[in-house]
Structure 1
Amino acid sequence: MSHAPIRWIAFAQTRCLVTGTSAEVTTAVKTFVDENPESTVLAFDAVTSYPVEIDLRGSLAEVLARLPPAATEDVTPEPRSVGRPKLGVVPKEVTLLPRHWEWLANQPGSTSVVLRKLVEQAMRANGDTDRVRQSREATYRFIQALAGNEAGYEEASRALFAGDIAAFREHTSTWGQDIREHALGLASIGAADKFVASA
């Protein structure tokens, strides 16, 4: 089973240095830091805003060789003797209360089929809510790391979680352009009709 490459983003203070695959970002960061040894560069997962640690010791080839395989390669699950691996079905233990097992036993189809249907229904029902929550959390992680000392940070954070888009734009208006645009872009992932990366 293949997955899209993980995308990273790196900032040198308030300037976006590069966005791309882990190898592309690592290459750009290594080159920049070698040329500007006094500069501080912060890298993040471009979607989740979790920080990324890049070990810049040694040559570029050595730095790239230390990247985790999961960051640059497709992931292929190991073959399993049970389940239906060709369909991506993975067997795992489920713990339920007796009344839950009783209810499942009275449903048409196998327990696995019923559970999969329930999960699919929940995913459809909560999809929009989950996307909004995840995008807000990613936006907050990002602005906390790069804009925590900026004017209007506290107000922008409150506006973000309140869904007050106009206020969020207003309180980030004095921030560096690259930081502000990325923050608005992150927020728009979960609420494209509410967050637009244009002021």
Structure 2
Amino acid sequence: MNDEATYTAFAGQRRLASGDLAQVLQRAQKRAARDPHEVVLLFEDRTGRQIDFNPQSTAEEVVARAAPAPPRAGPGRPKLGVVSREVSLLPRHWEWLEQQPNGISAALRRLVEEASKHDPGKELARLSREATSRFMTAMAGNLAGYEEASRALFAEDKAAFEALIAGWPKDIRGYVAHLASPCFQQGSAPTKRD
């Protein structure tokens, strides 16, 4: 999973195309025009999110809808890309933050930077699990073993996960395996909950 956004289109249970949004959209529109009753769905590969797709839309309209919303105007430093948002913390957290040098915002930025550098493999695995889960819900929610596969995904039980998706349609199984691969990398186990 890299920084450049890529997309995948499915026509029913078959993978139609993968690549940049304009390229995938063009293939999806051609397919939808050929058979208007066939369900064609677009997914962002990094997040597993379904992209709103209307076969009559222009590529520019879909690209505009898929782009993140621009930051809203208001407090912060918009020219620097800083957007003010609300954070809810307990009183003891606010007290600790207020005692930090350079102010609350600087302390929060330092904490976020430290956490993001601490274990990038763990973060990649978490994002991969979420993307895989979103896609599975949309495309495999009615397939045999979906709930068990979902549990195996979040438990990082690769053998059980692969066994449970083995009977799924080839293209769905392949894409799910691709999205889930970072989840099963050594050293990326999620924190166990009691």
Q: TM-score with structure 2 length normalisation?
A: 0.75
Deviation at residue 77 of structure 1 after TM alignment: 6.9
> Does structure 2 conserve the Cα–Cα contact (< 8 Å) formed by 1:165 and 1:194?
no
Deviation at residue 153 of structure 1 after TM alignment: 2.1
Give the structure with higher Rg (CA). 1
In structure 1, which of residues 39, 45, 64 is the aligned counterpart of residue 59 of structure 2? 64
In structure 2, which of residues 164, 180, 191 is the aligned counterpart of residue 171 of structure 1? 164
Alpha-carbon distance in structure 1 between the residues aligned to 2:156 and 2:97 = 39
SS of residue paired to 1:47: coil
Is 1:144 matched with 2:143? Answer: no
Residue 107 and residue 47 in structure 1: after superposition, are their counterparts in 2 closer, same or farther (change >3 A)?
Answer: closer
| Number of residue pairs the alignment of both structures matches | 186
> Does structure 2 conserve the Cα–Cα contact (< 8 Å) formed by 1:10 and 1:42?
yes
Residue 17 and residue 121 in structure 1: after superposition, are their counterparts in 2 closer, same or farther (change >3 A)?
Answer: same
Alpha-carbon distance in structure 1 between the residues aligned to 2:72 and 2:99 = 34
Alpha-carbon distance in structure 2 between the residues aligned to 1:137 and 1:75 = 21
Larger displacement relative to structure 2 (112-121 or 91-100): 91-100
Residue 53 of structure 2: aligned partner: 54
- Residue identity (%): 39
Is 1:116 matched with 2:109? Answer: yes
Cα RMSD for the two superposed structures: 3.2
Matching residue's letter, 1:67: V
Gaps of 5+ in 2: 189-194
> Does structure 2 conserve the Cα–Cα contact (< 8 Å) formed by 1:5 and 1:71?
no
Q: TM-score with structure 1 length normalisation?
A: 0.74
Gaps of 5+ in 1: none
Is 1:12 matched with 2:11? Answer: yes
Matching residue's letter, 1:9: T
Moved segments of 4+, more than 3 Å: 74-86, 88-112, 125-130, 189-195
